[in-house]
Amino acid sequence: MQQRMLGNHFPVSSLTLGGGGLGMLWGETTETECVATVRAAVDAGITLLDMAPRYGDGKAEDIVGQAFESKLPTGVRVTSKCNLGNPAPDQVLPTLRASIQASLKRLRIQRIDLFFLHSNIVPTPDHPMMRTGDSPSRMTPWPLYAGHVRPAMEALVREGLIAAWGITGIGHPDAIIRALGDDPKPAAVQVIANLLDSPGALKFYEGPAKPRTVMAAARSHGVGRMGIRAVQAGALTAAIDRPLPADHPEVQDYARAAPFRAICKDLGEDPAIVAHRYALGLDIDTLVLGVKNRAELAGCVAAANAGPLPRDVRLRIDAAMGLGV
């Protein structure tokens, strides 16, 4: 599998195995199948495993621990995350450290290669995003991030618990772009990478998500770019594989993507594969997969081996979706 540099940090395969599917967030699977999927991913050349405690209440991390029993294959690296929220400043470092230590125990390893702030960075403590129902657990205001989270992350690097740190770029785009250019910078950002430019249910603010602007900002500052949600949680597949209410953002995006599926039908192609190939053509270093079994993994590996879409197909999709890019 093709290898690229993750920003200025380390080489990474063009695909990353994400933990959402392994944590059973995207439909049913089994523990045995998940373990087999992790091993198959590494056998296929995937060198980065993107985990988090929130993926099945630690299940995804435990799956990786079972798959390799304390000895990761040579060249394979692991990420994890902490959904920090908005704690008191003196609780930032101990909360992050405790999250890392719990993840290390489940993963059965000694160090996290790349540790992400999983909560949404928002511009101010009084921003409207801070007033959503569960905002204390999902939002981190800029002053806390700049004044306490970044110093804590740097301290954890010095301690040797993590090799580097990053941010999940699904917070307010203006705050994310600011973070990418403000020292100390994250080593990597996870950014929405799909043909709808849609975060779906992850969006908590008014206005456009601007993922491609985030990608460009990250590149300009030497920050690694990990694309996420290539199929927008199922909205860009042939059919959503779990029950959702009619007004759910993913269902709305599925309806919006009808012209895309029509193009795929005309081409005789699986929408999920086409969506992954489209995402691989965006300005990212690696694309995080949300697969839950070996069959889905095989399709994504085939997409990576086929490479980004031909320019004419990409332009056709952009025109159909009204992107104009």
Q: What is the chain's mean pLDDT, rounded?
A: 93
Q: All domains of the chain, ordered by start, with CATH?
A: 3-321 (3.20.20.100)
Does the CA dihedral 84-166-227-39 come out positive or negative? negative
Q: At residue 325, does pLDDT exceed 60?
A: no
pLDDT digits (tens, 9 = 90+) for 245-276: 999 999 999 999 999 999 999 999 999 999 99
Beta bridge partners of 122: 141
User: Please, are residues 2 and 287 in contact by the beta-carbon 8 Å criterion?
Assistant: no
> Mean pLDDT, to the nearest integer, of 9-16?
96
User: Please, are residues 197 and 209 in contact by the beta-carbon 8 Å criterion?
Assistant: yes
Query: Where on the phi/psi map is residue 108: left (φ > 0), alpha (ψ -120 to 50), or beta?
Result: left
- First vs last C-alpha separation in the chain: 28
The alpha carbon of 72 is separated from its chain's Cα centroid by a whole number of angstroms, namely 21
pLDDT digits (tens, 9 = 90+) for 84-94: 999 999 999 99
Quickly list H helices, 9-167.
31-43, 59-68, 92-107, 135-138, 142-144, 150-159
Structure confidence at residue 134 as a pLDDT band (50, 70, 90): low
